[in-house]
């Protein structure tokens, strides 16, 4: 059979980038199909309207929506995101959502790979061990540090995971005055302050400049190339090999398979709305969890009657997000000396602090050892429009305007520095959190959209509340005022995984341990969809690492 390319990759983010980079460097012909446009570093200016008010980097919800299904007192209720405005797109451009991440990079721990055997079953949760170990993934975590670029400083703490290197390849990024206040408070509380590693260069490397500390990082593209997006860290280098081609504005609708179940072509609509096909020996799907499940479900074939890899009805199942919560404390400038107050007012340097003292919980109130989570501490985002918009109404939803609004704005921007915290713990997989196709709702190409059923496990909230209370204790010890926070059942749309979990049994998994679709030997999935459980850290480092691992497997297969 003729092939146009050795490998065709659908999606260009953290799941697709390492495969494209590795295979192109090895001399194989690579095609990357990306549904969004191709922006460069020069396009990543700090525009709050474009980034956060108009969603320039994600689809218009009138054209490409999802249907969200939530449980109400009368049963399950579904609503289109075009009506609710709830956006589950995370960056449909070359490089995907890795362009807009904050770059908080913490590794999963060995126990995360054997959650079921370490901590036992939880009623109503589909917890399983991973089919690979931390030790198998560790060399690839290390590879990400150098190939993508991670800045940080390794410190000893009770829950530190094993490492094959002694430190990160780049020193930590610049730190805010609150970092030292945080360290002092943790020392008094006998806690272990961890400098948060960042996928942001603190020193230049080749064509990538180091961080320029604009203050606008998370949710924004990087104007210096310091942030380790798949585009700037991997795809730009893959292109230079002459073996990698990227086609933006290429929306893949389905994968075409033959009588043996192997995929022969990816069918897509190009920038001119013309239907095209791309043929390859091997296909990699890396569209983020929801859209990867949608694509497989939309790709029936002679051996895949219910969708590609869905012989046992597992595609889309066990969708997970990151459970936890968030909060904030105010550091009033009037409580500090003029010199310290000036230091607190700085915008740009990072706080870069995490706590993992409750990654595993031994508290008699829970009746035994439990998996806990991480806490990241960060400056409140400086977005001016978003903060001002939140101040335009009072607690009774009455509109505030004129002098009263001016005074509110002045107070908001001049009285204090704000330290946020984010709790990350496991979103337990359940039968009531999954992706399916909604045949009644279509996108602008007339294709069924993804329906996302959302439901969290009560255990998630219990752990989130426990760790959130610990975070508030730290803020109090730091001298913060107006401390608020708690757990949430609302899924963070930028932290999604699962839907095509890997495992050894095709009856309860979509992929084998190599992330190859059980019933299609030339199709791999390398975004976060492969994860059976999420751990208690952000997912991107693990996605990058696993994608490098699978890239080596594909290279051997080729």
Q: How far is C-alpha 27 from the chain's CA centre?
A: 30
pLDDT digits (tens, 9 = 90+) for 432-459: 999 999 999 999 999 999 999 999 999 9
| Residues facing residue 8 across a β-bridge | 31, 283
Q: Which helix (H) or strand (E) holds 325?
A: strand 322-332
Q: Taking phi first (over 0 means left), then psi (-120 to 50 degrees means alpha), and beta for anything else, what does residue 215 get?
A: left
Burial of 510 (0-12, 13-18, 19+ CB in 10 A): buried
The number of domains in the chain is 1
pLDDT digits (tens, 9 = 90+) for 375-428: 999 999 888 888 888 889 988 889 998 999 999 999 888 999 999 999 999 999
Burial of 484 (0-12, 13-18, 19+ CB in 10 A): exposed
Tell me how far apart the alpha carbons of residues 288 and 144 are, in angstroms, rounded to a whole number.
19
Identify whether 137 is part of a domain. Answer: yes
Tell me how far apart the alpha carbons of residues 114 and 122 are, in angstroms, rounded to a whole number.
14
- Classified as helix, coil or strand, 301 is strand
Identify whether 160 is part of a domain. Answer: no
Identify whether 176 is part of a domain. Answer: yes
pLDDT digits (tens, 9 = 90+) for 226-271: 999 999 999 999 999 999 999 999 999 999 999 999 999 999 999 9
Identify whether 216 is part of a domain. Answer: yes
For 188, the domain range is 5-63+89-155+171-557
DSSP readout, 152-204? ------TTPPP-SSSS-SBPPPPB-HHHHHHHHHHHHTT---EEPPBSB-SS-
Tell me how far apart the alpha carbons of residues 150 and 170 are, in angstroms, rounded to a whole number.
6
pTM here is 0.97
pLDDT digits (tens, 9 = 90+) for 22-56: 999 999 999 999 999 999 999 998 888 888 888 78
- Classified as helix, coil or strand, 389 is helix
Tell me how far apart the alpha carbons of residues 467 and 470 are, in angstroms, rounded to a whole number.
5
| Residues facing residue 67 across a β-bridge | 80, 451
pLDDT category of residue 2 using cuts at 50, 70 and 90: low
Identify whether 77 is part of a domain. Answer: no
For residue 49, count other CB atoms closer than 10 A to its CB.
9
Among positive and negative, which fits the CA dihedral 398, 404, 409, 412?
Answer: negative
Identify whether 402 is part of a domain. Answer: yes
Query: How large is the average pLDDT for residues 153-164?
Result: 95
Tell me how far apart the alpha carbons of residues 464 and 361 are, in angstroms, rounded to a whole number.
12
Nearest to 154 by CA among 88, 106, 206: 106
Strands 67-72 vs 5-10: parallel, antiparallel or unpaired = unpaired
Tell me what percent of the residues of the chain surpass a pLDDT of 90.
91
Q: What is the pLDDT of residue 52?
A: 80
Provide the mean pLDDT of the chain: 96
Tell me how far apart the alpha carbons of residues 201 and 212 are, in angstroms, rounded to a whole number.
10
**Residues 125/133, Cβ–Cβ less than 8 Å:** no
pLDDT digits (tens, 9 = 90+) for 461-500: 999 999 999 999 999 999 999 999 999 999 999 999 999 9
The CATH number assigned to the domain holding 207 equals: 3.50.50.60
Tell me how far apart the alpha carbons of residues 327 and 471 are, in angstroms, rounded to a whole number.
8
Helices (H) and strands (E) in the chain, counts: 14, 21
pLDDT digits (tens, 9 = 90+) for 70-80: 998 888 999 99
Strands 244-247 vs 30-33: parallel, antiparallel or unpaired = parallel
Identify whether 178 is part of a domain. Answer: yes
Q: What is the pLDDT of residue 210?
A: 98
DSSP readout, 42-79? GG----HIIIIIS-TTS--TTTS--EEEEEETTEEEEE
| Residues facing residue 208 across a β-bridge | 205
Tell me how far apart the alpha carbons of residues 313 and 509 are, in angstroms, rounded to a whole number.
9
- Classified as helix, coil or strand, 41 is helix
Identify whether 175 is part of a domain. Answer: yes
Half-sphere exposure of 38 (CA within 13 A, CB side): 16
Q: What is the pLDDT of residue 388?
A: 87
pLDDT digits (tens, 9 = 90+) for 316-326: 999 999 999 99
- Classified as helix, coil or strand, 464 is helix
Tell me what percent of the residues of the chain surpass a pLDDT of 70.
100
- List the alpha helices (DSSP H) in 189-278: 230, 236-240
pLDDT digits (tens, 9 = 90+) for 300-344: 999 999 999 999 999 999 999 999 999 999 999 999 999 999 999
- Classified as helix, coil or strand, 443 is coil
Output the CA–CA distances (angstroms, integers) from residue 106 to 90, 222, 464, 510, in the order listed. Answer: 20, 20, 18, 27
Strands 360-363 vs 368-371: parallel, antiparallel or unpaired = antiparallel
Q: What is the pLDDT of residue 56?
A: 87
Q: How far is C-alpha 164 from the chain's CA centre?
A: 25
């Amino acid at each position: 059979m003729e092939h146009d390319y050795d490998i065709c990759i659908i999606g260009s983010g953290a799941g697709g980038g390492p495969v494209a980079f590795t295979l192109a460097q090895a001399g194989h012909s690579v095609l990357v199909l990306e549904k969004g446009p191709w922006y460069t570093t020069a396009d990543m200016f700090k525009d709050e309207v474009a980034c956060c008010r108009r969603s320039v980097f994600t689809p218009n919800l009138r054209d490409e929506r999802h249907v969200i299904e939530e449980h109400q007192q009368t049963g399950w209720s579904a609503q289109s995101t075009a009506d609710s405005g709830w956006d589950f797109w995370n960056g449909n451009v070359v490089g995907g959502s890795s362009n807009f991440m904050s770059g908080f990079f913490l590794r999963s721990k060995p126990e995360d790979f054997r959650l079921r055997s370490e901590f036992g079953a939880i009623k109503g949760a589909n917890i399983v061990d991973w089919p690979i170990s931390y030790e198998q993934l560790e060399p690839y975590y290390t590879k990400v540090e150098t190939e993508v670029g991670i800045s940080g400083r390794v410190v000893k703490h009770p829950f530190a995971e094993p490492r094959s290197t002694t430190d990160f390849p780049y020193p930590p990024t610049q730190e805010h005055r609150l970092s030292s206040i945080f360290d002092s408070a943790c020392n008094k509380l006998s806690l272990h302050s961890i400098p948060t590693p960042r996928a942001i260069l603190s020193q230049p490397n080749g064509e990538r400049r180091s961080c320029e500390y604009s203050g606008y990082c998370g949710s924004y593209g990087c104007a210096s190339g310091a942030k380790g997006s798949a585009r700037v860290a991997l795809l730009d280098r893959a292109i230079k090999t002459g073996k990698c081609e990227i086609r933006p504005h290429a929306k893949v609708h389905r994968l075409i398979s033959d009588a043996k179940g192997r995929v022969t072509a990816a069918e897509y609509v190009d920038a001119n709305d013309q239907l095209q096909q791309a043929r390859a020996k091997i296909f990699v799907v890396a569209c983020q969890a929801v859209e990867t499940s949608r694509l497989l479900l939309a790709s029936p074939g002679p051996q895949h009657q219910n969708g590609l890899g869905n012989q046992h009805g597992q595609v889309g199942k066990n969708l997970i997000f990151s459970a936890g919560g968030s909060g904030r404390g105010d550091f009033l400038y009037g409580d500090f000396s003029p010199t310290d107050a000036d230091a607190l007012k700085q915008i740009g340097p990072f706080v870069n602090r995490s706590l993992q003292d409750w990654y595993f919980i031994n508290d008699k109130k829970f009746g035994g050892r439990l998996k806990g989570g991480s806490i990241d501490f960060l400056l409140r985002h400086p977005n001016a429009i978003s903060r001002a918009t939140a101040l335009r109404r009072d607690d009774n939803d009455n509109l505030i305007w004129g002098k009263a609004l001016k005074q509110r704005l002045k107070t908001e921007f001049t009285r204090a520095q704000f330290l946020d915290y984010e709790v990350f713990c496991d979103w337990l997989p359940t039968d009531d959190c999954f992706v399916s196709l909604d045949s009644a709702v279509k996108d602008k190409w007339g294709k069924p959209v993804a329906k996302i059923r959302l439901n969290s496990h009560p255990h998630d909230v219990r752990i989130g509340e426990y760790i959130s209370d610990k975070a508030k204790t730290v803020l109090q010890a730091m001298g913060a005022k107006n401390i608020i926070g708690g757990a949430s059942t609302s899924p963070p749309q930028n932290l999604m995984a699962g839907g095509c979990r890997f495992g050894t049994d095709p009856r309860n998994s979509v992929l084998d341990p190599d992330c190859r679709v059980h019933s299609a030997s030339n199709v791999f999935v390398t975004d976060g969809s492969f994860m059976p459980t999420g751990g208690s850290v952000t997912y991107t480092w693990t996605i990058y690492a696993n994608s490098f691992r699978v890239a080596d497997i594909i290279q051997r297969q080729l």
